[in-house]
Each structure stands twice: as structure tokens, then as C-alpha cells.
Amino acid sequence: MNNEGRKTTPVTAAQSAQHSGMMFEEPLIFEMDQPGRSGVDLPDVPNVPLRIGTLAPREHIGLPNLSEPEMVRHYTRLSQKNFGIDSTFYPLGSCTMKHNPRLNEKMARLPGFSDVHPLQPQSTVQGAIGVMKELSHWLLTLTGMKAITLAPAAGAHGEFCGMAAIKTALKVRGEDRKIVLVPESAHGTNPATAAALGFTVVSIPANGRGRVDRDALIAKLDNNVAAIMLTNPNTCGLFENEIIEIADAVHKAGAYFYGDGANYNALVGRVRPADLGIDAMHINLHKTFSTPHGGGGPGSGPVVFSERLAAYVPLPYVKIEQDILSLVEHADDAAQSFGRLKAFHGQMGMFVRALTYILSHGADGLYQVASDAVLNANYILASLKDVMSTPFEGPCMHEALFDDRFLKDTGVTTLDIAKALLDRGYHPMTMYFPLVVHGAFLIEPTETESKATLDGFIATLRELAIAAKDPANKELFINAPHTTPRRRLDETRAARQPILRWKE
């Protein structure tokens, strides 16, 4: 886009009037374009045209014309609108938004790791392959599994990998099973993954205790069931205490057990998934081993396999021959593998960060991670259940779940409470999920939060829960948030009809 096709929108008096303290109202950076401004001085290079026709290089490729201070201030202001784990407590349930230690970042930036290229000869990257081998060893030891692939790019990709291995194993057995059983409290990626692989998804209800209804599940098992996909702890933050009986029944029916490892943070170092009867499980490195989470960055979702599925691990994987590390790249070396899952070998930066986290904690530290995550969640549950309502009796695992019964007849909703939290400096918890609980509040504190931090959050949520019951406080909730750069949005309309330019 050149300047002729770009609408220039200087900051207007109407916008400036909406500045509030350090919260600035300004156009998009492309709308701030002013022809003739430049933050760099490009030299004349002999025989290299810096202009195409009448357009300067910046104009030709569509970059805005801004001075350096204008550009720096714009992006600094945007950064001040960010809200993340480095800003304050981030209680987003079902996502494990834990702190990313800076030690991890320092290791990942070492030249031998940050500069490595996947097309280098393997003889020149023995250190990087060694990191993959060491990480694989720890993940296999912690889970009790027999084989692993580090290739998957994220948790959902890991699900696809594990279920593709199951589909391959059934094909080798000469079976064409079509059904995958998925509990109704599962992560949405579970049924999506099964459907993407051509399976038919059958939902399994929860019982009154918030766990999978074992009898309903067993009643669905027959010779057309390929697998069950189950999360433990589940999305209600509860441990599936009948999981071994469920696994035995699944295996007796000739099916496989896929374990969604999204909530492994509650079990790491304490329970080995293999001992629960799981055949394949993805591990979200960002949820359990502290690699960066969200923002569109590189994810990583290694998958571990039991002995039943070890022969079907996708390529590539690490092997050792005469003390030389190599990556198995070809199907001839693994005849039963379903082949490559993606280009290259996975996310090296994430492997370095995860291994750094593991080694800095050690076995005893990882045991403590799960202990503290569960302790923190139960502290929140115990501290709030007298003013908020809980759908299930007893303690939770890594996340505390509340429903909206305490708001009955108040006119205040789950969404209103969440928006009011923003006015008090807290990111909201997960709302309206899991779907099996009406008006759900799902809070996951993680092990990285101190008691002082939790006490502040608990006090704030108690205040809101009590205030919601007094009609005189209704305006505090209905119009919240009042102090954020943007007020309450019509979120459905915003997603479907976004307004991307300033309007007078």
C-alpha cells in the first residue's frame, strides 16, 4: 500500500481529550503515517536503486512514515496495556499460567542453542541432540512411559500425534475401529482431534461428584471403540479416582487410553501416568515445565507412549550408536511409525527452557511443584467457599472451581464479577468453563504464587462476592470495568465485526 491509498489520521483533539493519566488514546500506527517523516537515514548505495518508480522503499512495502520518538512511544504505550504473568497474579484456570524463570531464558539464548539450524549436519549439533536426549530421559522417567516424540508443536498437535499413533496401531492389528469416547468435561481440542482423524466422538457424562461416570463409560465399550481421551485431573480440577478401573476396562475391550496431559502440573513428580494405565499422553511444556505460554509464540507438546504404542512413535526420535547421538529420520528405521509429524525436530528453544527448569528443580523440586500447586488451589477453595458456591464436595487438585449459585437473584453474573476484578488489578479467572458447571469460575493459582499474593486475591474476591448481594452495589458490576483502557465490549460483535480504525 502506498501513501496515495493510505488514509492519514493525525491524533485529533477528540482523541487527546480521551487521554486519562498514563492511558493514551491514539490511532493505529499506519493511521499515524505522515509522509516525509523518517526514523532512519538510508545512505546512497551505488548501483542499488532505493526507489521504485516514485516511491521510497518504506512506501513501496507499506511501512508508515514516523520519526523514531513517535514509533518508540507508540509501542511503549502498547506494551503498557499488556496484562500477563509478569504484571500480576494470573489466575486463569485450565491454562497453568506459571512464572517463566529468567534462568531458562538465559540458557535458551546461549549461542549453541539460539543459533542452531535444523539443516546442520548432525555431527555439528551433538549438544543440541544431547539436550533432546536428556529432556526425553526426564520426561520418560517422570511419566513411566517407554517411548517419546518431541516433535509436536503444541498440546493439540500432541493430541493429534498420540491419536494418530493409536490409529496406526489399530491398522496394524487389522482393525478399523471408529469410536472415541470423550468425557463431557474434556478440553475442546479432544473431540476436535478425534474428529480430525476420522473418528466418531461419543460423549460420556459426568457423575454427581464431577468425575467421569464409570458405569456409563463401560456401557459404551465394545469392539468398535478405538480409544478414550481423558484428562486427569479433569477440567473440574478433580482427580479421577476410578481411573485405573476405567483403564482396565478400556484395555479389556481392546481399545487404547489417551491421557490429556494439560493438567500434569498437579501430578508431576508424584504420580506416573503409566501406572494409571495411560497409553499415550501429551505434555504441555508451557503448563508443566514453564516454557513461554501464549502470544502466538512457539509451543511444544511432546508425547510419551506406553509399551503398547512404543513401536508407532513418529519420526524423528533420538537414538545412540557407539556414543554418537543421531535422529532417526526415515521410516526404514522405524517400520511401524506413522511417519513424520511435521518438518524438522520440534522447538529447540522450548526444549532448552524445559530442561533448565527440570534440572534446576531436580526430582525433589518437581515433587514440591505439584504439592504447592495443589496446596494453593485448596487454600483458595477453603478461603472462599463460605461466600461463593462450590458445585462439588471435597478438596480439589490444582484448580478451584466455583459456580454461580451464590449470585442467584442478585442480577449480577459470572461475567460481571470477572469484569469487576479488572478494576481491582486482577486478570479474571476462566469463566463459564467447564460447561458442565453453570456460571463456572475456574481458578488456578499455580505453585509460583506466594501466600501473600493469594491472600490479596482472596480478599478482593470475597469483597466482590459479598458486595454483589447488595442491590446498592449493582452499578459496580453492571458497567465494569471502569478503569481499563477499554470499557466493556460486546465481545461477540467485536469478534465478528471488529472496528480497526479510529472514528470521530
Cα–Cα distance for residue pair 489/44, rounded to 1 Å:
49
Let me know: does 140 contact 318? Beta carbons within 8 Å: no
| Higher pLDDT, residue 204 or 331 | 204
Between 53-57, 255-259, 289-293, 378-382, the lowest mean confidence (pLDDT) is in 53-57
Which phi and psi angles does 135 have, rounded to 5°?
A: -60, -45
- Nearby residues of 42 by Cβ (< 8 Å), 6 or more positions away: 50, 57
Residue 298 has pLDDT above 80, yes or no: no
Residue 502 has pLDDT above 60, yes or no: no
Taking only the tens place, the pLDDT of each residue in 357-372 is 999 999 999 999 999 9
Residue 4 has pLDDT above 50, yes or no: no
C-alpha cell at 174: 487389522
pLDDT at 147: 93
Cα–Cα distance for residue pair 503/493, rounded to 1 Å:
17
| Higher pLDDT, residue 13 or 247 | 247
Residue 271 has pLDDT above 80, yes or no: yes
CATH of domain 368-496: 3.90.1150.10
Let me know: does 307 contact 376? Beta carbons within 8 Å: no
The amino acid at residue 443 is: I
Is 99 strand, coil or helix?
coil
Residue 214 has pLDDT above 70, yes or no: yes
Taking only the tens place, the pLDDT of each residue in 62-119 is 678 888 898 899 988 888 888 888 888 999 988 888 898 999 999 999 988 999 998 8
Let me know: does 442 contact 429? Beta carbons within 8 Å: yes
pLDDT at 3: 41
pLDDT at 276: 97
pLDDT at 2: 40
Taking only the tens place, the pLDDT of each residue in 332-388 is 655 577 888 888 888 899 999 999 999 999 999 999 999 999 999 999 999 999 999
Overall fold of domain 102-109+123-313+345-358: Aspartate Aminotransferase; domain 2 (3.40.640)
By C-alpha distance, which of 152, 240, 148, 155 is closest to 190? 155
Residue 12 has pLDDT above 60, yes or no: no
* Vertex 107: Cα angle to 105 and 108 (nearest 5): 65
Cα–Cα distance for residue pair 427/416, rounded to 1 Å:
13
Let me know: does 386 contact 406? Beta carbons within 8 Å: no
pLDDT at 51: 53
Q: What is the 3-state secondary structure of 186-242?
A: CCCHHHHHHHHCCCEEEEECECCCCCECHHHHHHHCCCCEEEEEEECCCCCCCCCCC
Instruction: Give the torsion sign (CA, 162, 165, 169, 175).
Output: positive
Cα–Cα distance for residue pair 3/336, rounded to 1 Å:
57
The whole-model pTM stands at: 0.87
Let me know: does 494 contact 446? Beta carbons within 8 Å: no
By C-alpha distance, which of 57, 21, 87, 5 is closest to 426? 87
Residue 5 has pLDDT above 50, yes or no: no
pLDDT at 43: 60
- Quick one: how far is CA 268 from the chain centroid? 17
Residue 443 has pLDDT above 60, yes or no: yes
What average pLDDT does the chain have?
A: 88
Torsion of CA 326, 332, 333, 337, to 10 degrees: 110
Taking only the tens place, the pLDDT of each residue in 421-433 is 999 999 999 999 9
pLDDT at 1: 37
The amino acid at residue 245 is: E
Give strand pairing partners of 228.
181, 257
Cα–Cα distance for residue pair 472/183, rounded to 1 Å:
42
Long-range pairs for 362-368: beta carbons < 8 A, 24 or more residues apart:
363/269, 365/269, 366/142, 366/268, 366/269, 367/269, 367/270, 368/269, 368/447
Cα–Cα distance for residue pair 228/258, rounded to 1 Å:
6
Split at pLDDT 50, 70, 90, the class of 42 is: low
Taking only the tens place, the pLDDT of each residue in 112-142 is 899 999 889 988 988 999 999 999 999 999 9
Kindly list the domain boundaries of the chain, sorted by start residue: 1-81, 102-109+123-313+345-358, 368-496
